[in-house]
Amino acid sequence: MVINSIVYRHGKRNENISLEEVGDVLTEEKVFLWVGLWQPDAEFMRVLQAKFGLHDLAIEDALTAHQRPKIEQYGDSLFIVMKTARLQDDDQILFGETHFFVGKNFLITVRHGASESYAPIRQRAEENTTMLCEGPGYALYCILDFIVDHYSQITSSLSNRISDMEDAMFRTEFDRQTVKNVYILRRQLLALRNAAMPVDEICQQLVRFHEDVIPKSLRAYIRDVQDHAHHVVIDAEDMREMLTSAMHVNLALVSVQQNEVGKKLAGWGAILIIPTIIFSMYGMNFEDMPELHAKLGYPVILGVTLVICLVLWRRLKRSGWL
C-alpha cells in the first residue's frame, strides 16, 4: 500500500521513513513529508489518520474510489480529489482517482484505479530544489499538472480517431457499428469533460484561499494548470459537437438516399399503373368496347399504352424522379 514515504529538508530529498517516525519529522522546520499510497485499506488509513490528524470525513472519502473532483478544508489540512485518465491501445479511456491530503508540512497521495506511476513526477520535482523549499505546494502542483497533461494527451490522441469517424459517417449507407462507436466515444468525452471541469474551481480555491499551501511564487503554476484544464474542457465539448454533427449529417444523407429510392419507386409505379388500368379494363366482360372486335385492336391498344408510358417516363426523367 505504501509506495514511498520520503522526507524533504530544505528542498532536498533526505531519507525514507516509516509511519512510526512521522511524529518527529512533522515538528521540524523547513521539512515536509511526501507519502505515496496505492489503494490502502481501512485499517491502514486509520493509522495514517492518527499520525497526521486527518478528519474522519476525509478518511471516509479516501477509502471510496467513487468521489467527484473537489477540494475541502478540514482544520489545517486540505482534502482534494482528482480524476485520473489513461488511454488504452483500443482508444478506450480508463478513469481512476487520486486523493490528496495536504498540510503545511506533508503531502499524502492516495491512488485508486487507472493511474500512471508518480515516480517520474517525484524525480521532476526533486530537480527543482528551490521550489521544493516552499513546501508540499510544489509537489502538489507537479501531480496536478501531470494529471491535466494526461487529459490533453488523450484529446490530442482522439482527434485522429474522430477524423476517421467523420469520414465513415459522410456516407449514404447506414453503419450501425460506426454509430455505436460514435456514441461510446461521446460518452467517454463527456466523462473526460466532467473530470477536467472541476479543476478550474480547485485551482481557484488553492490560489485565493490557501496561501499557506500555495505561496505567491506558486500561484502562476497553479493558474497554468487551470488554463490547461480549461482547454481540455473546450476540446472535449468541441469533439462531442463534431461527432453529433457528423451523426446528423449521416442520418440526413441516409434520409436523402431513401427519398431518392422512394421517388424512383414512385415513378416506376406511376408508369406501370397505366398498362395495368388499360389491360384491366379490357379484361371486363362488356360487348361494346372500342377496338374489341377489330383485327388491329390489340396492337393499337398496346401501341397507345407504350406511347403513354414513354411520354410519362420522359417527363419523370427530366424532373429527376428516375
Cα 308 to Cα 124, 297, 303, distances in angstroms: 86, 17, 9
pLDDT at 23: 74
Q: Going residue by residue through the chain (322 aa), what tens digit of pLDDT does each one get?
A: 777 888 888 878 887 888 777 777 777 777 888 989 888 888 888 988 888 889 999 998 888 878 889 999 998 889 999 999 988 877 788 899 999 999 888 999 999 887 777 888 888 888 888 888 888 999 999 999 999 999 999 988 888 777 777 777 776 666 677 778 888 888 888 999 999 999 999 999 999 888 888 888 899 999 999 999 999 999 999 888 888 887 777 777 777 777 777 878 788 888 888 888 777 777 776 677 777 777 777 788 888 888 888 888 888 788 777 7
DSSP 170-192: SSSS--HHHHHHHHHHHHHHHHH
3-state SS, residue 18 = coil
Cα 228 to Cα 130, 184, 221, 225, 249, distances in angstroms: 24, 25, 11, 5, 31
Q: Where are the alpha helices (DSSP H) in the chain?
A: 22-25, 42-52, 56-63, 119-126, 129-132, 136-169, 176-209, 216-281, 297-318
d(Cα 222, Cα 203) in Å, to the nearest integer? 6
pLDDT at 141: 93
d(Cα 62, Cα 287) in Å, to the nearest integer? 98
d(Cα 3, Cα 67) in Å, to the nearest integer? 22
Q: Kind of pairing, strands 106-113 and 93-103? A: antiparallel
For Cα atoms 209, 214, 218, give the angle at the middle one, nearest 5 degrees. 125
DSSP code at position 92: P
Ramachandran bin of 140, using left for φ above 0, alpha for ψ from -120 to 50, beta for the remaining angles: alpha
Q: Kind of pairing, strands 77-87 and 70-74? A: antiparallel
pLDDT at 286: 66
